Each structure stands twice: as C-alpha cells, then as structure tokens.
Amino acid sequence: MHKTKPWQQITAQATLVVVSVFVLLPVWGVVYLAFDGSVKGWPIAFRLWPEQFSLAAFQHVWTKAYQAMPFLGLLRNSLLVAGGAALCSIGFGASMAYAFARYRFPGRTAGLFSLLVGAMLPPVALMTPLFILLSGLGIRPTLLGLMIVYTSFSLPFCIWNMRSAFQAVPKELEESAFLDGATSLVSFWRITLPLALPSISVAAVIAFLIGYSEFAIGWLFIDKGDRVTLAMAISAFVRGAGVLSWSNLAVLAILMSVPVVVLFIFLQRYLLRGLLFGSVEGN
C-alpha cells in the first residue's frame, strides 16, 4: 500500500483549509451583517464579529420584509410557487419518463431530442410564448401562472432524470409482477416507482430550487406586491435606489436559506433510507 508522505499530507490539508476559508468567509460575512446593529447603510469594513449585536434587522424583516409584506407572506408565495412547480414536474413527468424508458413508439427519438433541446434552452427563450399563453388564459399575473412558468423550465430535466432512474430498475421485476397478476399501473406504483424514488427526489429538489431561487423572469409576470416571492424581494432590494440596509438584506438571505437547508437535511435521510432498503443493482 502506498504511504502518503508527510509533505503531501500537509499540502493537502493546507489546500483544504484555504478552500474552506474562501467558501465560508462570504457566508460568515452575511451572518455578521445580519446581527451587526452598527451597520446602518453600506458596510465600510469587514469584521469577524458584530460590533453591536442586535436583532432589530430580524424583527424588521419578519414584520415588513418587502414593502408591506411580512416575511411569512413572501415565504408562503415562494413555497406555493416552487413546491407546486416541483409537484407538477414530477407528477406530469413521471408517466412520460416511464413511457420513454420502457416502450418503443413512433417519434420516441424525436421526442427525447426535443426534451433535450428544451432542457438546454435558456429560460428567457420561453418568455414570449409563455407570456402570450398565460395572458390569453387570464392567469399571467398570478401565482398559478408563475408556477406554470417554472414547471416549464424544470420539466424537461425532470423527465430525462426520471427516465434514467426507471431504466435502472430491472425489467424482470415488473415481468415477475405481471406473472403474479399485477397490472401495469400496480407494477409501476408498487415496484418501479419506489425503487426509483432516490433519483426522483433529486429531480424534485432541483425543480423546487429553480422555482425558489429564480427572480428575473418572475418580474415579467407578477405585477402586484402581494404576489412577490422571496427571491424577487431580494432582487428588489438590490435593484432599487441602492440597498438602504444591508443588514435587512442579509437577514432576508439567511431566512430564505432556512427552508432549503431543512429540505436538504430531510432529503439526505430519505435518500439514505431509500438507497439502503430500496436500491437494486442491475447485472
């Protein structure tokens, strides 16, 4: 067995420390700004510790995060839009992904290529047709319309991801279920879907993050303050006449990241449980 030399170990550890500092330092900068009551406008110096510890920024953002909207109102809008987009992407994409994975039909190759092109298109390319379509339906400036927009962004990726997950499930398991009298729907629901859940959950989280963090396209559809999402509120802080309070901006960024952190913690445990008890390796 090759033994690592001391200087190689020291170099590797030093590199990891430097990388960690560059990753964690900006995060800590946001945290200290949120708790530093001495910062009234632009921060003029970087500090390792808040000069004047205060929770005033948290109190202000909690009650009035954007215009007259409290933080919980913005969070509700974001969760409705992002969660709805994730559910629609998985719900509508699962059947299509399974069809592409298991069946051979005319236009299959063209359909897969179209989905691949759709996954690579920048979101702004879909802006005009979606704007016209949602305006014609009368739901353009609503949270439902914004949810449909984000679903269209994430659906092609989700279909490709779930198609690979369904292909990884051995077809022999479904055939065994057919011999026991199970229908195609029962086989899909009780065998294929549970075994593919780890990859499907990853696709769902990515679809959720697309809707949760996107803001540029959202401003083209939403025109009322009570329908603004968290990401749009943060962009409004920066795009306005200068950031009046960087502490408020830091607090909003921290509070916005909490649901994502909780989601990843839950997903980590779920994936571990799924991989241990529901994974199948093909020969």
Domain residue ranges in the chain? 6-54, 61-277
Residues 109, 112: Cα–Cα separation, whole Å? 5
* Mean pLDDT score of the chain: 83
Average pLDDT over residues 248-269: 86
- For 139, residues 6+ apart whose C-beta sits below 8 A from its C-beta are 145, 148
State residue 241's pLDDT score: 47
The pTM (predicted TM-score) of the whole model is 0.84
pLDDT tens-digit series, residues 20-55: 888 888 888 888 888 887 777 667 777 777 778 888
Class of domain 61-277: mainly alpha
pLDDT tens profile 198-227? 888 888 888 999 999 998 888 889 888 788
pLDDT category of residue 280 using cuts at 50, 70 and 90: very low
Counting residues of the chain whose pLDDT is more than 70, the rounded percentage is 89
pLDDT at 255: 92
- Residue 271: name the closest of 169, 208, 196 by CA: 196
Distance CA(196)–CA(24), nearest Å, equals 34
pLDDT 10s digits, 97-126: 988 988 888 888 888 888 888 788 888 888
As a whole number of angstroms, the distance between CA 154 and CA 169 comes to 23
